Amino acid sequence: MFAVVKANGYGHGLTQAAQACLEAGATGLCVAILDEGLTLRAAGITVPILVLGITEPRWASLAAEQQISLTVGSLDWFRQAAELLTTAQAPILNVHLALDTGMGRIGFQEPAALKETVDYLNAHTEIFTFEGIFTHFATADEQDPTYFKQQCQRWQAFMAVLSTRPRYVHVSNTATSLWHDACNGNMIRYGVGIYGLNPSGGTIESPYQLEPALRLTTQLAFVKHLAAGMSVSYGATYTAKQDEWVGTLPIGYADGYPRRMQGFYVLVDGQKCEIIGRVCMDQMMVRLPHEYPVDTAVTLIGQDGEQTITMQAVADYAGTIHYEIATTLGMRVPRVYEDQ
Interface with ligand PLP (CB under 6 A)? 4, 6, 52, 136, 173-175, 189-192, 199
Residue 228 CA to residue 332 CA, distance in Å, equals 35
Strands (E), 79-227: 93-99, 128-135, 168-172, 187-190, 216-219, 222-226
Residue 208 CA to residue 219 CA, distance in Å, equals 33
Q: Is the dihedral of CA 181, 186, 192, 196 positive or negative?
A: positive
Q: Would you call 162 exposed, middle or buried from its count of C-beta atoms within 10 A (0-12, 13-18, 19+)?
A: middle
Is 148 or 190 the residue whose CB approaches ligand PLP more closely?
190
190 is a catalytic site residue: no
Strands (E), the chain: 2-4, 28-31, 49-54, 68-72, 93-99, 128-135, 168-172, 187-190, 216-219, 222-226, 231-232, 238-239, 244-249, 265-268, 271-276, 284-288, 297-304, 307-309
Q: Provide the minimum distance between the beta carbon of 230 and ligand PLP in the complex, in angstroms, as a whole number.
A: 44
Q: Provide the minimum distance between the beta carbon of 127 and ligand PLP in the complex, in angstroms, as a whole number.
A: 24
Q: Given the residues 6, 190, 238, 265, select the one marked as catalytic.
A: 6
Residue with smallest beta-carbon separation from ligand PLP: 191
Is 151 or 174 the residue whose CB approaches ligand PLP more closely?
174
Is 61 or 176 the residue whose CB approaches ligand PLP more closely?
176
234 is a catalytic site residue: yes
Is 193 or 277 the residue whose CB approaches ligand PLP more closely?
193
Query: Are the CB atoms for 32 and 53 separated by under 8 Å?
Result: yes
Q: Residue type at 168?
A: Y
Helices 146-159 and 111-122, interaxial angle, to 10°? 40
Q: Provide the minimum distance between the beta carbon of 308 and ligand PLP in the complex, in angstroms, as a whole number.
A: 22
Q: Provide the minimum distance between the beta carbon of 6 and ligand PLP in the complex, in angstroms, as a whole number.
A: 6
- The whole-angstrom distance between residue 5's C-alpha and the CA centroid of its chain comes to 7
Is 136 or 154 the residue whose CB approaches ligand PLP more closely?
136
Q: Provide the minimum distance between the beta carbon of 286 and ligand PLP in the complex, in angstroms, as a whole number.
A: 31
CB neighbourhood size of 257 (10 A): 26
Is 132 or 258 the residue whose CB approaches ligand PLP more closely?
132
Rounded to 5°, angle at Cα 191 from 23 and 259: 115
Q: Given the residues 168, 208, 224, 234, select the one marked as catalytic.
A: 234
Q: Provide the minimum distance between the beta carbon of 166 and ligand PLP in the complex, in angstroms, as a whole number.
A: 16
Q: Which sequence positions are flagged as catalytic?
A: 6, 234
